[in-house]
Structure 1
Amino acid sequence: MRKIAVFGKPGSGKSTLSKALASATGIPLHQLDSIVYKKNGELVDRQSYDEAHGDILSSDSWIIDGFGPIDSFNQRLQAADTLVYIDLPYWTSYWFVTKRLLKGLFVKPEGWPDGSSVLKGTLESYKVLRQCPKFWNGRIIDRLDRLSAEKSVYIVSSVSELDNFVRQTID
């Protein structure tokens, strides 16, 4: 476990899980939102993103939290030795996004890009969640099943599994 991709729907707990994994393993954590967005919340130019993403992928070890552009997601799936797909029920993701907004009024959310609007990000998360069934469906499960022949693949499907993942996987 040296190159770990953590992914799933908005509000699924990717940042919290990734931070705990980084703490437990000492592997550097790279949150995609910090290379996808500028400090003001605008998207970085694609070339800058691709360069930063490529630099991370070429390093000896990493944890990458997030999705990003589809082609970079596909690159991560190939480069990683460990895939962690957080597949919580939609109602849970909606609740976590809402909870992040409420807490974000007082404290910057886990993994949130500096200077980005929590309200704007929340509205974007709701929008993306509505579109998620087009991607996060049986096809991704089938793909992960195929990849499990050559990689460690974990599918986290409940809050309890999410809460206990690091302890059960690393310890």
Structure 2
Amino acid sequence: MKKINVVGTSATGKSTFSKALAEKLGLHYIELDILFWLDDWQECPDEIFFARIEAEMAKAKNGYVIDGNYTRAIPVKWAEIDTVIWLDLPFPINLYRSIKRTVSRSKSKQDLWPNSNNQDSLWRMFGPNSMVWWMIKTHKKNRNKYLKMMSAPEYQYIQWIRLKTPKEVEQFLAQLDSYEYVV
């Protein structure tokens, strides 16, 4: 496990997990949202987004942990990938986390990424472009998509790890402490 992509529906804890995983394994952490989102919720054009991903991957001489889905970027981000870790948590957990995270971020008015002015807001939480609504719309769709990908012939070279509960996520990270990982 040296070139990893952590995927899952919004609010599964991808970023928290990915940062911890990268630290434990001594790998470069790449957050796709930072590379994708521009100010005022504008999306980065694909050619620039893909170039940013490639540049981050090139920096990672010992390997990397990519945090994020972005199906359009699969040809780039999975060009050399060896492992996909899918955080496939139950819908009620995702819904709770999504609402909690949005409310917390709305109160703090913190920028979501250091390179943009994007913030969560309670107004946005109830709008058609809210992260909560996005999670609701994509939870089942993402599950079906990753189930198909796991068995697709073109992705058989990838080691798939599916973690379905918060306890499995914690146990996976904890087991990494029980042996020395050499990069």
Same fold (TM over 0.5): yes
TM-score normalised by structure 1 residue count? 0.82
- Residue of structure 2 in register with 1:63 after alignment: 65
- Residue of structure 2 in register with 1:83 after alignment: 84
Q: Name which of 143, 152, 163 aligns with 1:136.
A: 143
Which whole-Å CA distance do the structure 2 matches of 1:45 and 1:146 have between them? 28
Larger Rg: 2
Unpaired runs of at least 5, structure 1? none
Query: Residue 100 of structure 1 aligns to which amino acid in structure 2?
Result: R
Shift of 1:121: 7.3
- Residue of structure 1 in register with 2:181 after alignment: none
- Residue of structure 1 in register with 2:108 after alignment: 106
Query: Residue 153 of structure 1 aligns to which amino acid in structure 2?
Result: W
Which whole-Å CA distance do the structure 2 matches of 1:141 and 1:51 have between them? 28
- Residue of structure 1 in register with 2:163 after alignment: 156
TM-score normalised by structure 2 residue count? 0.78
Unpaired runs of at least 5, structure 2? 179-183
RMSD: 2.6
SS at match of 2:43: coil
Q: How does 1:117-132 map to 2 (within 5 A)?
A: 117-119=119-121, 120=124, 124-132=130-138
Query: Residue 17 of structure 1 aligns to which amino acid in structure 2?
Result: F
Shift of 1:158: 0.3
Percent of matched pairs sharing the same residue: 19
Do the aligned partners of residues 52 and 27 (structure 1) sit closer, same or farther apart at CA in structure 2, a change above 3 Å counting?
A: same
Residues matched between the structures, number? 167
1:131-169 CA deviation, whole Å, 9 max, x = no partner? 2223422x5224224578533221010011122221224
Do the aligned partners of residues 21 and 31 (structure 1) sit closer, same or farther apart at CA in structure 2, a change above 3 Å counting?
A: same
